Structure 1
Amino acid sequence: MDLQTLTYTIVGITFALYIGIAFWARASTTGEFYAAGRGIHPIANGMATAADWMSAASFISMAGLIAFNGYGASVFLMGWTGGYVLLALLLAPYLRKFGKFTVPEFIGDRYYSRTARIVAVICLILASVTYVIGQMKGIGVAFSRFLETDYDTGLYIGMGIVFIYAVMGGMKGITYTQIAQYCVLIFAYTVPAVFISLNITGNPFPQLGLGGTMADGSGMYMLEKLDLVVTELGFKEYTTQVMGSKLNMFVYTLSLMIGTAGLPHVIIRFFTVPKVADARSTAGWALIFIAILYTTAPAVGSMARLNLMNTIQVGEVGSAEGNLSYAERPQWFRNWEKTGLLQYEDKNGDGRIQYYNDKNPEFAAKADAFGWKGNEMTKVDRDIMVLANPEIANLPNWVVALVVAGGLAAALSTAAGLLLAIASSISHDLIKGVMNPNISEKNELLAGRFAMAGAIALAGYFGLHPPDFAAGTVAIAFGLAASSIFPALMMGIFNKKMNRAGAIWGMTAGIGVTMLYVFQHKGIMFIPGTAFLGDMDPNWFFGISPNAFGAIGAVVNFSVAIAVSKITAPPPEHIQHLVEDIRIPKGAAAAVEH
């Protein structure tokens, strides 16, 4: 069976499964729409949480970042997994004990303020919509390759699929759909990784193959070989490459960590289990399920880079036969050219593909002597690497089709969770909580579905002109959550003296300074067609990139909130007792007295 037919078949079967589950588990009450009726088993919820968490950024984009940024891209591995531990230990159990449906609802009640709730809704929508844009980028990339069409058309089709099962199913339908999507995405990620690791290192375990020797009998370590290949073409050594300064690496990691702990679509997953103990159990299971992919990603990224370089650089650097002839380019190259995500320009007219770092002044003289007139691979979108990797490695067609299905599962699962968080904040927090408290359950459910449909349209519109590659866009979303929601939740749980004025001004200052910095250095990301500045800017604050600035915004949030709370009235006594009740288990006080 040819690749396109096989891809249609496998992807079609998975879509039918998702939509079938959504019909079977569709929400009929607001409790099922927002929290799946609080009846999900911790193991099942852990699997759904992992799928919700491992988005297009994890499946499609993270390994691409590792492929092109080497060691420096470890900030994503450390930040995202470390942040999940932070969420599991410091926030999830306490928020579940509080017993509300949404994060803004907790903030509104804890800070005894409708204004605080509204500010939280605005922060949630800004972070979640930005995050959805990253998922839409992943959906567009996967669909464009799957249908062999352009990126925009792929995105429109993906929006339609999300609309069908997310709007109808609510949290109940999304939860069971995400369990199926986890099984698809983890199988799709690990199977090709095993094949490629066997091909390159002879080791079936990618995690071990990453540190193993080449299977060609040379005795050279795989990473040593990769370092040699990339430095020969003027790129930085793969194993020592960093993203900016060490300070930027640290702040980037911190921003991703606390952003993770402040993401509403992940937090609301812990509201779907029956008990507080189940929330802790969910976190443990989710970490196990997440670890399978996250320990595999470094091997996938490094092996993808090695395969790409070896495919294009087929002989001695600088020799006439050293570069691949464009006329003889492999089928995978032709397939990705159709999407517009891979582009070639014959700058010196020799009909061969020169792929090198033309921004390296030390390599420029060599390149000129070779007759090279610039890097002719004018576009290699980082987000194609995981999907293209099996084709580059000449794996069987069913493996290639499986990876496409996995990439779509990752993007769709997270997009659905994010859209639900946006919809619930509008229907439950704004409409029911502020504008019309007496709205019927039926009308609230209808409002939630309309809000989700609107969010899909908005995210798709911005997804046509994303401000960055998928993981970069997601990092901006994490920064917005880190600078606004995370501090409000932490102080709401662990600082009983924090009052509403402090929370409101803290959230406003934190997200305000972060968005200002992002707008200044990345362009106005929400207006399509705006130009963005390059990867490095001498005007960055202490060399901190916009994608990493959320941690600085969080510091501003904490500082402003604490300062304002010191000069304004403390919270009422019943609110302070409420905070103590959230943290302290029942009977603990009596046990201490005795």
Structure 2
Amino acid sequence: MTGPSPFARRLRRYYLWYTLSFISFVGFLAIGEKMGMSQSVIGHVFLFATIAIYAGIGVMSRTADVTEYYVAGRRVPAMFNGMATAADWMSAASYIGLAGTLYFTGFEGLAFVTGWTGGFVLVALLLAPYLRKFGQYTIPDFLGARYQGNAARVVGLIAAVIASFVYLVAQIYGVGLITSRFISIEFEIGLFVGLAGILVCSFLGGMRAVTWTQVAQYVILIVAYLVPVTILSYKVTGVPVAPVMYGTVLGKLSEKENELLTDDAEVAVRKQFARRAEDYVAKIAHLPDSLDAERRELIERLNQLRLNDAPARDIAHTERALRDLPRTPGQARQQWERARVEAIERSRPPPRHAQAHPGDTPEQREVARNNFLALVFVLMVGTAALPHVLMRYYTTPGVVEARKSVFWGLFFIFLLYVTAPAYAVFAKWEVYNNLIGTSIAMLPNWLVSWGKVGMVNIEDINGDGILQLAELSLNTDVILLATPEIAGLPYVISGLVAAGGLAAALSTADGLLLTISNALSHDLYYKVINPSASTQRRLVISKSQLLVVAVVAAWVASMRPDNILFMVGLAFSIAAAAFFPALVLGIFWKRANRPGAVAGMLAGPAVTLYYFVSTHAFFGGSMDNAWFDISPISSGVFGVPLGFLTIVVVSLLTPPPPPEVRALVDYVRYPRLPADDPGIFTESK
């Protein structure tokens, strides 16, 4: 049995020094805070220092070699590929959104942990070793070779671009969120600050630069994730082992939930929100007259305030209400419908954290259980089909290393996932125990800070000056980022968490950008449009596409789309429906052919997108259109089976693939077959 190669030993030494240096850097900033360093300086130093590290690695890893640019020279050791895969995988959704989702949904949020973890089991068993045996550069490469030509390749690259772009927008949104809060700049400016960090990591060196940057980013994000919750665990329980100790706090939290949910003030506030929802129903029913009446009422109130020399604050408040009033009945319908839904949500008691599949009736509990299982299924299959993750297994030296890197990736991801439930419980305990029931005039500064970027909203609907649970609205994505401030930890911990969130978003954004640009330059331009293109021209096209896609994604993210985790769920559904059936059947069923694969890769995503649009409120859809009451985030649960069924039926109704394609399946499946498979590939494996 051979030990690690000299290259691997050298990498271990480099990254060990890097890790120790980063921990020392955090220690120096902590000392600086003790000596009076301002929060603004700490935030700037954290973010810009880490971006400078990534940029330096990206510049040092620049290359003009095609194999280095696309697959890092196929020489990334298994452990480091596992770290890079974990960083590539643990996006802003995992890092920022998962703890918040577990905070709000409790047990139901474990669908994300279960689904994502199970997905890597599917990767190890069904895809990673076979794709590495195939070689080449991209997932559409495999589809083009297995399904005979450019039809399947083009459909595959379109699906890869759509799924990756939706995922990319979520990452850039996360970057803007972090930078706008921690260095006090406009959200839109923060997007493009982060965009510069993304581009400098991937523009010059492609997969080579992205790989070594992602290893560095994993070190930062896992340190940033574990340190705050470890401190918080020690503060709350006296034991600094959060995954072990949060169960004791969960028991106390359940008692606090019972107390809050039966409190008279809480019940009264929820009734007021329910009445508000009813008022919006009446206003929507009487459009456009209700809009005209509200406009006249605000104008009369404003004139009366001015005549009576009312306080400037009251006048400004009324002016703002008049300015924000919808201009058309159509806008009013949309705006009031969103407000009605929000009021209904606030009128309902939140689910108990430890309750599985909550609901007041057996039917509601069955719907919750079905949605839980559907989400687990979509996330598992989507994980196994994400192009930017599967591309990582092209970078290992061989098939054995590809299998090992899946194990290492699972281990490094486990370190975060086993801690996320503890984050949610500790944060909720701090909010319920130390925040709810306090005077609104004496609320901590973090609520004001996050309120300025639209992540926290407080409305004293009953006017008693006391914060009730229903009067506090927190965005899902704020839970993790604000946890150090919620717990009263030093600000350097907040800066560390922000640096970790930035590392998570940048690492995944780099992989997604590379996936999209490679699909457009390699699979579309080189394989379809201009097969005679020179190496230099291919790299120029790839880099130009990378720049264009990055700018467009930043522009879309500037519109502040839905919360990060929900956007990622859509990307998973698209990837699952488009790729999983075609890849699995392409590897394990020789009879699958080009017409079947193309039909399946079109039918699955089409049904997925149709269901998502028809049921999601952002697109004007409604859950009244839902099938079996399945949430739109799990729309892939319909697309994946349809994709399998379509490929099987169409393949059986059309001629079988030729002998050379069946030989490719044997070559990919069986490692001991000779590698002299003439005519299958056009480039070296």
TM value normalised by structure 1: 0.89
In structure 1, the residue matched to 2:213 is 177
Question: 2: distance between equivalents of 1:558 and 1:457?
Answer: 36
| Greater helix share, structure number | 2
Q: Does 1:224 align with 2:260?
A: no
Change (3 A) 1:155 1:222: farther
One-letter code aligned to 1:442:
Q
2:152 to 113, 116, 137: 116
| Aligned residue number for residue 67 of structure 2 | 31
How far residue 325 of structure 1 moved from its aligned partner, in angstroms, is 2.4
1:492 is aligned to 2:586: yes
Query: How far apart in 2 are the matches of 1:67 and 1:580?
Result: 48
1:413 paired residue among 507, 517, 521:
507
The alignment status of 1:549 with 2:549, answered yes or no, reads: no
Match among 117, 121, 135 for residue 171 of structure 2? 135
Offset at 1:166? 2.0
Number of the residue aligned with 1:472: 566
TM-superposed deviation, 1:519: 1.3
Cα deviation digits, residues 219-259 of structure 1 (max 9, x gap): x8344345435634532211115385211111110000000
CA contact (8 A) 2:107 2:353 kept: yes
Match of 2:469 among 337, 344, 355: 355
Deviation of 1:113 after TM superposition, in Å, equals: 2.1
Aligned-residue offset at 1:203: 2.1
Residue pair 1:121, 1:429 contacting (<8 A) in 2 also:
yes
2:519 is aligned to 425
Which residue number corresponds to residue 455 of structure 2?
341
2:355 pairs, out of 223, 236, 240, with: 240
1:318 corresponds to:
none
Q: Which residue of 2 aligns with 1:201?
A: 237
Pick closer, same or farther for the CA change 1:588–1:167 going to 2, 3 Å.
closer
- Distance, in Å, in 2 between the alignment partners of 1:413 and 1:555 is 32
| Alignment partners' CA distance in 1, 2:428 and 2:538 | 49
Distance 1:393 1:451 in 2: 44
Q: Which runs of 5+ in 1 are unaligned?
A: 215-219, 314-322, 357-374, 524-529, 590-594
Equivalence for 1:15: 51
Structure 2 counterpart SS, 1:184:
helix
Which residue matches 2:328?
A: none
Distance 1:348 1:198 in 2: 37
Q: Select which of 355, 365, 376 maps to 1:253.
A: 376
SS in structure 1 opposite 2:204? helix
- 3-state SS of 1:570 partner: coil
Partners of 1:208 and 1:231 in 2: how far apart?
Answer: 27
Amino acid at match of 2:204: M
Are the aligned partners of 1:54 and 1:414 in contact in 2 as well (CA < 8 Å)?
Answer: yes
Structure-1 residue corresponding to 2:30: none
Q: Distance in 1 between matches of 2:102 and 2:260?
A: 14
SS in 1 for 2:203: helix
Distance, in Å, in 1 between the alignment partners of 2:152 and 2:181 is 44
Indicate which of 636, 649, 660 corresponds to 1:574.
660
Mapped partners of 2:218, 2:620: distance in 1? 34
One-letter amino acid of the structure 1 residue matched with residue 119 of structure 2? G
CA RMSD of aligned residues (A): 1.8
Which of 83, 86, 97 in structure 2 is aligned with 1:47? 83
User: Could you say which residue in structure 1 is the equivalent of 2:555?
Assistant: 461
- Distance, in Å, in 2 between the alignment partners of 1:179 and 1:434 is 34
Alpha-carbon separation, structure 1, partners of 2:558 and 2:167: 14
Among 257, 266, 271, which residue is 2:394 paired with? 271
Distance of 2:467 and 2:252 partners within structure 1: 24
Q: Distance in 1 between matches of 2:236 and 2:519?
A: 48
Partner of 1:360 in structure 2?
none
Query: Counterparts in 2 of 1:61-80, with a 5 A limit?
Result: 61-80=97-116
Residue of structure 2 aligned with 1:584, choices 666, 670, 679: 670
The secondary structure found in structure 1 opposite 2:240 is coil
Deviations 1:94-113 (A, max 9, x none): 00000110000110010002
Cα deviation digits, residues 85-132 of structure 1 (max 9, x gap): 111221000000001100001100100021110000011011101111
Deviations 1:202-232 (A, max 9, x none): 22111111212x5xxxxx8344345435634
Cα 1:309–1:473 change in 2 (3 A) is: same
Q: In 2, distance between residues paired with 1:343 and 1:169?
A: 43
Query: Does 1:518 find its partner at 2:612?
Result: yes
Question: Would you say the 8 A contact 1:248–1:548 is kept in 2?
Answer: yes
Instruction: Tell me which moved more, 239-248 or 544-553.
Output: 239-248
| Corresponding position of 2:410 | 287
Indicate conservation of the 8 Å contact 1:134/1:466, yes or no. no
Inter-partner Cα distance in structure 1 for 2:84 and 2:389: 10
Seen in structure 2, the aligned counterparts of structure 1 residues 587 and 125 have a Cα distance that, compared at 3 Å, is: closer
2:517–2:542 contact (8 Å) kept in structure 1: yes
TM-score (norm 2): 0.77
Report the structure number with the largest CA radius of gyration: 2
Q: Is the 8 A contact 2:237 2:245 kept in 1?
A: yes
Counterpart for residue 561 of structure 1: 647
Secondary structure class of the residue paired with 1:148 = coil
Q: CA deviation at 1:147?
A: 1.7
**Gaps in structure 2 of 5+ consecutive residues:** 1-36, 267-348, 359-366, 676-685
Kindly indicate whether the alpha-carbon contact (under 8 Å) linking 1:27 and 1:171 is maintained by their aligned counterparts in 2: no
Question: Equivalents in 1 of 2:209, 2:357: separation in Å?
Answer: 41
Q: SS of the counterpart of 2:477? A: helix
Q: What CA deviation, in whole Å up to 9, does each residue of 1:64-83 have, x standing for no partner?
A: 00000100001100000100
- Matched residues in 1 for 2:671 and 2:259: separation? 58
Residues 228 and 533 of structure 1: is their aligned pair in 2 closer, same or farther, counting only changes over 3 Å?
Answer: farther
Answer yes or no: is the 8 Å Cα contact 1:383–1:470 preserved in 2: yes
Q: Secondary structure at the match of 1:404?
A: helix
State the SS of the aligned residue for 1:542: coil
Shift of 1:351: 3.5
Q: Which residue in 1 is equivalent to 2:342?
A: none
Quote how far apart the aligned CAs of 1:382 are. Answer: 0.6
Question: In the alignment, which of 416, 434, 450 is matched to residue 311 of structure 1?
Answer: 434
Q: Which amino acid aligns with 2:468?
A: Q
Q: Is the 8 A contact 2:440 2:467 kept in 1?
A: yes
Q: Which amino acid aligns with 2:416?
A: L
Contact 2:102/2:421 (<8 A) preserved: yes
* Contact kept? 1:479, 1:514, Cα under 8 Å: yes
For 2:441, the equivalent position in structure 1 comes to 327
Q: How many Å separate the matches in 2 of 1:54 and 1:435?
A: 35
Measure the CA separation in 2 of the matches of 1:91 and 1:468. 31
2-side partners of 1:346 and 1:520: how far apart? Answer: 35
Where 1:343 maps in the other structure, the secondary structure is: strand
Residue 508 of structure 1: aligned partner: 602
Query: What CA distance in whole angstroms lies between the structure 1 residues aligned with 2:256 and 2:595?
Result: 54
State whether residues 253 and 429 of structure 2, in contact with CA within 8 Å, keep that contact through their aligned partners in structure 1.
no
Shift of 1:531: 5.1
Q: CA deviation at 1:499?
A: 0.3
Task: For 1:548 and 1:144, locate their aligned partners in 2 and report how far apart those are by CA, in whole Å.
Answer: 31
Structure 2: distance between partners of 1:481 and 1:296: 27
Aligned-partner residue type, residue 384 of structure 2: A
1:361 corresponds in structure 2 to none
CA spacing shift, 1:229–1:431, aligned 2, 3 Å: farther
- 1:378-397 alignment to 2 at 5 Å? 379-397=473-491
May I ask how many residue pairs the two structures share in their alignment? 546
The separation in 1 between residues aligned to 2:451 and 2:234, in whole angstroms, is 28
Residue equivalent to 1:316: none
